[in-house]
């Protein structure tokens, strides 16, 4: 059912006597267990699907706007578990990040503090994704129903003006992934609408510098966020940790990129049913798969440890090459990956989405463009063009699918 119709129904059910309900947000076959959300009935009406509603015993907070105990279809998770966020992870092993009421509250509070106060939120991301979930929670925490963009037929920026106009409250926010921002920038009325918001959070994937520059030039209040399900969404805004969040770089020699390790009150307690998982081995810290550098306390993400390419014995971080290619005329979007190569072990290839109507950049164009911007060994050795990049989640390129296609 279209989200718009659900929204209309939600508005109706909001007038019914409330009561809280539990809601399973994720399919049950995940070994990590389902994510369960308790929220007001009017919100849950937006999240229609096949899952069952389980009535919650009414407590002190019967018409609550907070999260509380989660049950997996009657199976208790843990005493202090509030929400299990299912995360596929890049490695493909599904995991459930166990959040407590404290970690979720810490995230909501820190976000509101940094953005200038609680406000209403426009939901433009799937509600089972941590960023979409956070949009709903922050909006509900501020006492506002989130305004919902219908994603049934994909992200349509022309819906933004009407939805932004319908947003209550004196502070108004939204969260987008970079691909959505790119689409919105092509629609002047959408740019004007986003420009009326107090912040547009962009995250989930690296925002190419050229895209960021276009958005800032258009006057959009962009905040680049960095975080993941394990940190209850963004815990670093524009490179600066939120109040209470901490960032450490491990295994880095000075300016060299090292492993990003995150700490602070927004951290999940661990992965469900995986007490030995190495990412949570050090109490109070979460070891990410990201590589980054800290310049004067400002975090810059360089790429992912598990996606780096070894070519001729040298390491290439795909995101570094993507950032350079993203500045190339005629390139709307791109992904860089390693494919098996007899001589080099792996070779660097680029998959490019050309700008509509522009000449398709070829291998010679690419090699010339990168020649004074990248080390020789990092230059792509093959270039493919596609209409759009396959995604494995909002904003995240499915490199595995590309590797299978172009290897």
Ligand X SMILES: O=C(O)CCC(=O)c1ccccc1C(=O)O
Residues at the site binding ligand X, with contacts judged by CB under 6 A: 130-131, 134, 175, 177, 201-204, 225, 227-229, 233-234
Q: Which residue has the tokens 């960021």?
A: 212
CB 230 within 8 A of CB 279: yes
CA distance 85 to 272: 10
Residue 287 CA to residue 231 CA, distance in Å, equals 11
Of 9 and 128, CB closest to ligand X: 128
Question: Measured from the CB of residue 300, what is the shortest distance to ligand X in angstroms?
Answer: 17
Q: How many helices (H) and strands (E) in the chain?
A: 11, 26
How far apart are CB 76 and ligand X at their closest, in Å?
27
Helix pair angle (209-217, 178-185), 10° resolution: 50
Minimum CB separation of residue 379 from ligand X in Å reads: 29
- What's the closest the beta carbon of residue 167 comes to ligand X, in angstroms? 17
Return the axis-axis angle of helices 178-185 and 188-195, rounded to nearest 10°. 120
Q: In the chain, what's the furthest Cα-to-Cα distance?
A: 69
> What is the DSSP pairing of strand 120-123 with strand 285-295?
unpaired
Q: What are the tokens at 56? A: 């919650």
Q: Please identify, using beta-carbon distances, which residue of 318 and 395 lies nearer to ligand X.
A: 395
Task: Enumerate the β-bridge partners of residue 40.
Answer: 20
- CB within 8 Å of 44: residues ≥ 6 apart: 21, 23, 37, 53
Nearer to ligand X, 69 or 172 (CB): 172
* Complex with ligand X: residue 261 or 348, whichever CB lies closer: 261
* Closest to ligand X by CB, 141 or 177: 177
Half-sphere exposure at residue 298, Cβ-oriented, CA atoms within 13 angstroms? 5
- Smallest distance, Å, CB 219 to ligand X? 19
Could you give the CA distance from residue 376 to residue 212 in angstroms, rounded to a whole number? 27
At its nearest, how many Å lie between ligand X and the CB of residue 124? 9
Q: Would you say 176 or 337 has its CB closer to ligand X?
A: 176
Q: In the bound complex, what is the minimum distance in angstroms from residue 227's beta carbon to ligand X?
A: 5
Start-to-end C-alpha separation, the chain: 39
Q: What whole-number distance in Å separates Cα of residue 158 and Cα of residue 276?
A: 47
CA dist., res. 354 & res. 360, Å (int): 6
- CB of residue 229 to ligand X, shortest distance in Å: 6
> Is the backbone of residue 169 left (phi > 0), alpha (psi -120 to 50) or beta?
left
C-beta nearest to ligand X: residue? 234
Toward ligand X, which CB reaches closer, 301 or 316? Answer: 301
- Find out whether 280 and 39 touch, Cβ atoms under 8 Å: no
Give, in order, the Cα–Cα distances in Å from 32 to each of 37, 108, 255, 266.
Answer: 15, 24, 37, 20
Beta carbon nearer to ligand X, 22 or 84: 84
Please compute Rg for the chain using Cα positions: 22
- Alpha-carbon distances of 2 from 11, 27, 184, 237, 370, rounded to whole Å: 14, 20, 21, 32, 45
Query: Which of 259, 396 has the CB closer to ligand X?
Result: 396
- Which CB, 20 or 107, lies closer to ligand X? 107
Name the minimum Å distance from CB 206 to ligand X.
11
Instruction: Find the shortest distance in angstroms from Cβ 290 to ligand X.
Output: 11
């Amino acid at each position: 059912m279209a989200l718009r119709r659900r929204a209309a129904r939600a508005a109706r059910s909001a007038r019914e006597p409330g009561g809280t309900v539990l809601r399973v947000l994720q399919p049950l076959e995940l070994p990590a267990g389902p994510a369960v959300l308790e929220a007001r009935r009017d919100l849950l009406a937006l999240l229609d699907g096949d899952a069952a509603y389980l009535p919650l015993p009414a407590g002190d907070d019967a018409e609550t706007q907070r999260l509380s105990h989660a049950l997996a279809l009657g199976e208790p998770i843990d005493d202090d578990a509030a929400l299990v966020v299912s995360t596929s992870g890049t490695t493909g092993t599904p995991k459930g990040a166990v959040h407590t009421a404290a970690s979720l509250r810490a995230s909501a509070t820190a976000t509101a503090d940094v953005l200038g106060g609680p406000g209403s939120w426009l939901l433009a991301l799937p509600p089972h994704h941590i960023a979409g979930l956070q949009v709903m929670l922050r909006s509900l925490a501020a006492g506002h129903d989130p305004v919902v963009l219908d994603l049934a037929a994909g992200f349509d920026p022309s819906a933004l003006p009407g939805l932004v106009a319908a947003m209550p409250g004196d502070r108004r926010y939204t969260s987008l992934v970079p691909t959505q921002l790119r689409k919105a920038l092509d629609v002047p009325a959408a740019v004007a609408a986003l420009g009326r918001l107090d912040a547009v959070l962009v995250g989930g994937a690296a925002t190419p510098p050229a895209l960021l520059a276009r958005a800032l030039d258009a006057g959009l209040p962009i905040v680049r966020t960095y975080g993941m399900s394990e940190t209850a969404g963004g815990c670093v805004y524009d490179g600066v940790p939120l109040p209470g969040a901490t960032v450490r770089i491990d295994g880095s020699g000075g300016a060299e990129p090292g492993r990003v390790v995150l700490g602070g009150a927004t951290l999940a307690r661990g992965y469900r049913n995986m007490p030995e998982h190495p990412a949570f081995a050090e109490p109070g810290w979460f070891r990410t798969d990201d590589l980054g550098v800290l310049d004067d306390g400002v975090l810059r993400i360089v790429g992912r440890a598990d996606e780096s390419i070894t070519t001729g014995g040298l390491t290439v971080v795909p995101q570094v090459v993507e950032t350079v290619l993203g500045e190339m005329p005629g390139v709307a979007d791109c992904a860089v990956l390693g494919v098996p190569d007899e001589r080099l072990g792996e070779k660097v290839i680029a998959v490019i989405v050309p700008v509509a109507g522009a000449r398709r950049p070829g291998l010679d164009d690419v090699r010339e463009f990168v020649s004074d911007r990248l080390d020789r060994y990092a230059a792509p050795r093959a270039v493919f063009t596609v209409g759009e990049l396959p995604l494995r989640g909002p904003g995240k390129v499915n490199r595995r699918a590309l590797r299978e296609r172009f290897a």
